[in-house]
Amino acid sequence: MSLDINKVVIKTSLTSCFGSHFKEVEGANAFIDELAEDAEEVSFAQGEYVFREKDAPEYVYIPESGSLMLERSTASGSRQVFAFLFTGNLAGLSENVSYSFSAKALTNCVVIRISRKLMQDIFDKYPAVAKRYHDVTGHILSLILDQLFIMGQKSAHQRLAHFLLDMEHRLGRGTHRFLLPMSRQDIADYLGMSLETASRGFSKLKKDGLISIESNYQITVTDSEKLISYAD
């Protein structure tokens, strides 16, 4: 029984994730049923790794609740955060021999896990899904290029402003207020700056009246207009 309920939950999540990407594809409901049949929910505590950089890429992951962070670390202790993933985002789509980053739970979370072998079967069965999946990969690639542009061309404070606008858009649910699930250090490692520089950026944006900081993690964008122009 509880398994049946889980399947319904999984299917709802898959629909809200894949449905948005694949809704115009014929047989959309059929392939989501097949995915749901195989998909599993797995829980991770804050700080645990969902997968690691050198693992064989056996699964595709979708956060159902909670947030993930994709990162790469070096022996020398430096770390680059590649992306933050929230409910319904996808991870591990296009890895070949091994993941090229680790996925760490930012919060306690439940993650839907789909075997890549099954995905491949579905692609063979529904070529239109395979095509759309490739489009999704292309979209992710273009997001990373955006990030690369920002890293190469913008100052630290501008990068922080971009980041906050992105978070407002993805976490704000249509409002200007959102709760960040990551630390200042995570943000700094995402934007290629020191923790202190990130913190000073927050302080300056607050002092200038572009954002308000209700608590360390609870942010409101109080002047979108100015924040946007500040970011460019």
**C-alpha span between 162 and 70 (Å, rounded):** 18
Q: Say whether residue 24 binds a copy of itself (CB under 8 A).
A: no
Q: How far is the CB of 179 from DNA (least distance, A)?
A: 12
Query: Do residues 217 and 180 touch, judged by C-beta distance below 8 A?
Result: yes
Query: H or E element: which one contains 16?
Result: none
Q: Which does 118 bind (CB under 5 to 8 A by kind): a copy of itself, DNA, none?
A: none
Query: Do residues 201 and 160 touch, judged by C-beta distance below 8 A?
Result: yes
Amino acid at 187: I
Q: Which does 197 bind (CB under 5 to 8 A by kind): a copy of itself, DNA, none?
A: DNA
Q: Say whether residue 192 binds a copy of itself (CB under 8 A).
A: yes
Residues 6+ apart with CB under 8 A from 58: 115, 116, 117
Find where tokens 């409901």 sit. 29
Q: Which does 100 bind (CB under 5 to 8 A by kind): DNA, a copy of itself, none?
A: a copy of itself
Give the C-alpha distances (Å, rounded to integers) separating 151 from 83, 87, 107: 13, 25, 26
Of 16, 29, 46, 142, the one binding a copy of itself by CB under 8 A: 142
Q: Say whether residue 229 binds a copy of itself (CB under 8 A).
A: no
Q: Say whether residue 20 binds a copy of itself (CB under 8 A).
A: no
Q: How far is the CB of 49 from DNA (least distance, A)?
A: 17
Q: Which does 196 bind (CB under 5 to 8 A by kind): DNA, a copy of itself, none?
A: DNA
Q: What three-state secondary structure class fits 89? A: coil
The one-character DSSP state at 65 is E
- Phi then psi for residue 43, to 5 deg, are -100, 145
Residues that bind DNA (CB under 7 A): 155-157, 183-185, 192-200, 202-203, 213, 215-217
Amino acid at 92: G
Query: Do residues 159 and 193 touch, judged by C-beta distance below 8 A?
Result: yes
Number of residues in contact with a copy of itself under rule CB under 8 A: 42
Map residues 80-119 to x or -, x wherever contact with a copy of itself holds by CB under 8 A.
Answer: x-x----------xxxx---xx------------------
Residues at the site binding a copy of itself, with contacts judged by CB under 8 A: 72, 74, 76, 78-80, 82, 93-96, 100-101, 120, 123-124, 127, 130-131, 133-135, 137-142, 144-149, 151-153, 189-192, 232
